[in-house]
Amino acid sequence: MREAVSAIFICQREVFIIRRQPYLRAYPGYYAFPGGKVDAEDSQACFVHPMLSCLPNHQAGALVREVREELGFDLEQGVEQGLVGAIDYFGEAITPHFGQLRFNAHFYRIELQNKPDFIADRAEIAWSSWLDHRELYRHYHDGEALMVVPIMNAVRTLAEDIRATGAGPFNLQYDDARELPYLEPLRGVGLIPVPSNTLPPAKATIALLLGDERRILVDPSPATPEVYARLLKALEGRRPQAIMISHHHSDHHERALELARKLGAPLCCSAQTLADLRQVYGDGLTDGLEVRVLAEGDVLTQWKGQAVRCLSLPGHDAGMLGLMPDSRAWLFVADLVQAGASVVIPDYGGDMTAYFASLQRVIDLDPRVLILSHGFPVGGTHLVMQTLRHRQKREAQVCQGLNEGLNIGQLTERLYADIDPKLRQLAEQNIRQHMKKLDQEHDL
């Protein structure tokens, strides 16, 4: 776990906030305070002024360096010249164990007498601004800002009292032994990371809970009875009125029907997903359940007073549905993309031509935030564009290999030389799907 520092700059009743670039590996597109990782050389810094010398040396060194790199502002000089009125330790945030990237972050509240001319580093910062402390919280409350829990807690604390020198609780609060965590990185869009029987590198499937009044739980799939019990505990006080399955793959519905029966909630899915479920598990699978068939454009629920509509996103699976409010503030893409991993286009239900089209559709819709089934939300469509470019490059490699006379085994060996042998069959499925797409285009 890496140490990190963050600077909460405050001038009178305004707070300085940034939005991270959508292509960054850590928290892409999130609202944040300036800062970053502590480097080894930060401990070598030496400060004379007591406002900095009283801080842990490595943290003070990182704070000065990060502020200089990200904002072009010399914090040490600002202290010496009296521009900085006070530096107070605001709190410590530790990334939960289920986080993809883990940090022990130290937040410092820095009171300024006047606003300096910050010059944001555009390599890391997409947008930055001074905002009234209440206006900043409104960005989150209205669903405009993507925030991790410590940032949201700090922003909410400062909205209540701009003079606050600490936020509590700072970290996500839940009983890990008894319940699953519930997060709202985007206000009104609840995420529950549910350990599931999914494919590596993923370990969980995100269950999505949303709805102004009519709550919908999407893709609950606890791997074991113990995880199922912890999911039930997390849903206390958040009881859903319906359960939706985005597509028929088991890591999106394991124990979902059991949960629907327990809650007396209808099951919602596309006609194709319902047919696939019955084909795999038998016609009696949904006996005793109310089933509602969803299609493109259907309104599932409301978010911030807006209709949340179903979007058909075939390719990974023929019946897969996404969800998006009319404002395009966010788009739940299910298994369309996955950060740090390739999506499998399976032999059954998969279609590489449709997959390319679904990726392009999301790019054209240009939602502000993507909600993923495996991994946490990301800002913008950079991940989708990156995925499409990767698949186009892979297809060109497949085409070249076929022109050289390689068979599917040889193609897999060339293109996935370092793959875990357990995942080789999945890689072969993707190659077969590329071959089918190339054949169809050749016939046209």
CATH code that applies to domain 183-382? 3.60.15.10
Task: Copy the structure tokens of residue 290.
Answer: 């109310």
Task: Report pLDDT digits (tens) over 237-296.
Answer: 999 999 999 999 999 999 999 999 999 999 999 999 999 999 999 989 999 999 999 999
pTM beyond 0.85: the answer is yes
Residues 6+ apart with CB under 8 A from 281: none
In this structure, the chain runs to a length of: 444
Break the chain into its structural domains and give their ranges: 2-160, 183-382, 394-443
Looking up tokens 């006080």, which residue turns up? 237
**60 close to 46: Cβ distance less than 8 angstroms:** no
Closest CA to 255 of 294, 281, 292: 281
**345 close to 352: Cβ distance less than 8 angstroms:** yes
Task: Copy the structure tokens of residue 57.
Answer: 């040396």
- The one-letter code for the residue type at 319 is G
- Under CATH, to which class is 2-160 assigned? alpha beta
The Cα–Cα gap between 139 and 137 comes to: 5
**116 close to 137: Cβ distance less than 8 angstroms:** no
What three-state secondary structure class fits 42?
Answer: helix
- Give me the pLDDT at residue 444, please: 54
Low-confidence ranges of the chain (pLDDT < 50): none
| Helix (H) or strand (E) segment spanning residue 58 | helix 57-71
Task: Report pLDDT digits (tens) over 146-186.
Answer: 999 999 999 999 999 999 988 878 888 899 999 999 999 99
Neighbours of 247 (CB within 10 A): 26
CA 29-133-148 angle, to 5 degrees, is 35
- DSSP structural state of residue 191: E
- First-to-last CA distance in the chain? 53
The Cα–Cα gap between 192 and 352 comes to: 30
The Cα–Cα gap between 431 and 429 comes to: 5
**294 close to 270: Cβ distance less than 8 angstroms:** yes
On average, the pLDDT of the chain sits at: 95
Closest CA to 333 of 342, 321, 325: 321
Looking up tokens 């890990």, which residue turns up? 176
The rounded Cα 153 to chain-centroid distance in angstroms is 18
